[in-house]
Every structure is written in structure tokens, then in C-alpha cells.
Amino acid sequence: MEKFELKKPINHIAFIMDGNGRWAKRRMMPRTYGHKVACKRIIEIVRFLKEINVKAISLYAFSTENWNRPKDEIDKLFEYLEEFFDEYIQEFINYKCKIIVSGDISKLPEKTQKIVQKAIEITKDFHDYIFNICLNYGGRQEIVRACKLAYEDIKEGKITEKDLNIDTFKNYLYTHDLPEIDLMIRTSGEQRISNFLMYQLAYTEFIFTKTCWPDFTPEKLKECLKEYETRDRRFGAIKE
Ligand code: IPE
Ligand code: IPE
Ligand code: MG
């Protein structure tokens, strides 16, 4: 494979992996088969982004709204997640990749919680690369949670109301250690953010691709990166 180089540096890419169910249905397979194949794509994307030196990945794996799905599908999703960490944890360690979770994992099955906690614990001192997996995550919930944490700190006198601004507010978000998100990609053709990282996406470039996640290979990602390179990020300013 020809070596790919980023013409514009990217620190952080976020993915809404979507379309697993539809992808499987089109193949006359159960929706959960799509989730299984999805895990293969996740690790391929992790490997590829490591190769091209992207510093952080955020991946939407289970939203606060996904509890509305049938229990069988939810159970399988968590089972595949457990298998994912069991199978690939050594690779994350080799990459010196810190695994973090955004979302409230206390509502997840106990076995899943243990496996996820272990992955966080083993990788906690790494800084070269960050894998942020969003589990039982909702953007609105995260913002309300951050407000409550900031309020606690004010009440306890750790900070004053004056200390709170857009730089310090970041400290109360799950993503406090992560760089700004340069690019957000949603697969499957849906054009919405479905309660994903609403605060963090303020100035992110968005790409919506029709490809469903189980078909989203590093080759497809390269096409998105080429598209990203054509974007003119002005951040409200104007260019001469
Ligand atoms: C994304 O695929 C995975 C999760 C939301 C967990 P979907 O399961 O949403 O697949 P579609 O969108 O129904 O095809
Ligand atoms: C968003 O996808 C959540 C994840 C990818 C984990 P959904 O498939 O749940 O989103 P909607 O319901 O189509 O907006
Ligand atoms: Mg979906």
C-alpha cells in the first residue's frame, strides 16, 4: 500500500460509526452481525491513524438513546465490546495508547465495566495516542454534568465564579485531556450529530459519507482525509 501522508496536520478525529444494522440487513444477516464486523473496522482505523500520527480518536459506540433498542441487540453490543478489548488491548499498549471513556459506564453490564476499567487502568500513563470511546454517552448529559461539577468546585471554594470561562470549563468535560476535534466523520448517510460531543464539535469540520461503518476501511478514510485537506478553516476570521 502506498504510504499516505497528511498535508494538513490532524490532532483529533471523531467518528459516529453508523449503519451497522442496515449493512447487515442488506446481506440478509442479523443486525448484530454488522456490529461484529464493525469491531474489525475500528481496530483497522486505530492502526491506520497511529501510522499517520493522528494524536486522538473519539468513537461513538453507545449513546444514552441506544438503550431504546431491543435487549438482545444491546447485550450483543456489549459482548462484542468486551471481545474487542480482550483481543486488542495488547495492541493499544504497544502503541502507548491511553484508553479513556466518555459517558456513564456504571449503567453497563458488570462484566463490560470490569473489562473497560481494566483497559483504562493499564493504559492510564500513556500519552502518545488517545482512544476515547463514548459509551452510554450523551452530549447534553455531559454538558449538564460539567455544570454540576463546576458548581461543586465553586461551592467548595476550589474556584470562584470568575475563574469559569471557556478554557476552564473544558476541565469538567470527559474530554479534558484531548485536543480540539479537527474532523468528525459520520458513516451511513445520516446527517445529524445524535447527541454526540455537542460542546466539542463547535469548530470541527464535518464529513457525512454514505459508506456504512462495516465498509469503512482505511482506504475510505483516506478519501475523507483528502476532502478535509480541501477545507478552509477560518475560525471566524478572514483570509487575505
Ligand atoms: C451504529 O450502527 C452502531 C450503534 C449505534 C451502536 P446502527 O446499529 O445504528 O446501524 P443502523 O444505523 O441501524 O443501520
Ligand atoms: C448514534 O447512532 C449513536 C452511535 C453511533 C453510537 P444511532 O444510529 O443511534 O443514531 P440515530 O438514532 O440514527 O440518530
Ligand atoms: Mg444508526
Can you tell me the mean pLDDT for 211-234? 98
pTM here is 0.97
The 3-state secondary structure of 22-58 reads: HHHHHCCCCHHHHHHHHHHHHHHHHHHHHHCCCCEEE
Question: Average model confidence (pLDDT) for the chain?
Answer: 97
| Model pLDDT for residues 103-113, shown as the tens digit of each residue | 999 999 999 99
Query: Which protein residues are within 6 Å of ligand 1, measured from CB?
Result: 17-22, 62, 66, 77, 188
Can you tell me the mean pLDDT for 76-88? 98
Q: Given this model, what pLDDT does residue 55 score?
A: 98
Question: Is the CB–ligand 2 distance for residue 85 below 6 Å?
Answer: no
Q: Given this model, what pLDDT does residue 25 score?
A: 98
pLDDT for residue 240 is more than 90? no
Q: Given this model, what pLDDT does residue 204 score?
A: 98
Rounded to the nearest whole angstrom, what is the distance from the C-alpha of residue 29 to the centroid of ligand 3? 16
Active-site choice (18, 132, 136, 182): 18
pLDDT for residue 10 is more than 70? yes
The helix-helix angle for 31-51 and 218-229 (nearest 10°) equals: 60
Can you tell me the mean pLDDT for 218-227? 98
Active-site choice (66, 153, 171, 215): 66
Are the beta carbons of 183 and 205 closer than 8 angstroms?
Answer: yes
Question: Is the CB–ligand 2 distance for residue 134 below 6 Å?
Answer: no
Closest Cα to atom 8, ligand 2: which residue? Answer: 18
Per the annotation, the verdict on 18 as an active-site residue is: yes
Q: Given this model, what pLDDT does residue 1 score?
A: 60
pLDDT for residue 3 is more than 90? no
Output the nine-digit C-alpha cell for 103: 459517558
Rounded to the nearest whole angstrom, what is the distance from the C-alpha of residue 74 to the centroid of ligand 3? 13
Per the annotation, the verdict on 104 as an active-site residue is: no
Best residue among 40, 188, 190, 215 to mutate for probing ligand 1, ranked by most atoms within 8 Å of CB:
188
Rounded to the nearest whole angstrom, what is the distance from the C-alpha of residue 214 to the centroid of ligand 2? 15
| Model pLDDT for residues 145-185, shown as the tens digit of each residue | 999 999 999 999 999 999 999 999 999 999 999 999 999 99
Looking at the chain, the whole-number percentage of residues with pLDDT higher than 90 is 98
Bridge partners, residue 59, by sequence: 15, 133
Closest Cα to atom 13, ligand 1: which residue? Answer: 21
Output the nine-digit C-alpha cell for 225: 482525509
Q: Given this model, what pLDDT does residue 18 score?
A: 99
Best residue among 63, 141, 212 to mutate for probing ligand 2, ranked by most atoms within 8 Å of CB:
63
Closest Cα to atom 12, ligand 1: which residue? Answer: 19
